[in-house]
Amino acid sequence: TINNGVQLPDSGAIYRSSDGGMTWTQVHADPANGFSDVSFANANNGAATRNDGAILYTNDGGSTWTPATIQFSGPFILTAVEHRPDGTAFAAGYRTDGSEGFILISADGGMTWDLNYSTAGLNNSRRIYGLFFHDNITGYAATHIKPHKTSGLITGLTERGSEDLMLFPNPSDHSSTLRFGDTSPRTVEVYDPLGRVVYRSRTNSASLELSKPGAAGSYLVRVVGVDGVRTGRWLVQ
| Residue 192's CATH number | 2.60.40.3080
CA distance 102 to 68: 17
pLDDT in tens, 68-126: 999 998 899 999 999 999 999 999 999 888 788 899 999 999 999 999 988 876 656 67
Q: What is the CATH number of the domain that holds 48?
A: 2.130.10.10
35 and 99 inside one domain: yes
pLDDT in tens, 115-142: 998 887 665 667 898 898 888 888 888 8
The reported pLDDT for the residue numbered 163 is 44
Domain boundary among 156, 174, 192: 156
pLDDT in tens, 192-218: 877 777 888 888 889 999 999 888 888
CA distance 77 to 75: 7
150 and 172 inside one domain: no
The string of DSSP codes covering the chain is -TT-EEE--TTSEEEEESSTTSS-EEEEE-TT--EEEEEESSSS-EEEEETTS-EEEESSTTSS-EEPEE-S-S-EEEEEEEE-TTS-EEEEEEETTSS-EEEEEESSTTSEEEEEEE-TTSSS---EEEEEESSSS-EEEEESS--EEESSSEEE-PPB-GGG-EEESSSBSS-EEEE-SS---EEEEEE-TTS-EEEEEEE-SSEEEE---SSSEEEEEEEEETTEEEEEEEEE-
Domain boundary among 156, 180, 201: 156
14 and 130 inside one domain: yes
Report, as an integer, the average pLDDT of 219-228.
Answer: 81
13 and 53 inside one domain: yes
pLDDT in tens, 9-68: 556 788 888 887 788 888 888 877 888 899 999 999 999 998 889 999 999 999 999 999
How much of the chain exceeds pLDDT 70, in percent? Answer: 85
43 and 107 inside one domain: yes
The reported pLDDT for the residue numbered 112 is 95
pTM over 0.75: no
The reported pLDDT for the residue numbered 125 is 61
CA distance 110 to 93: 16
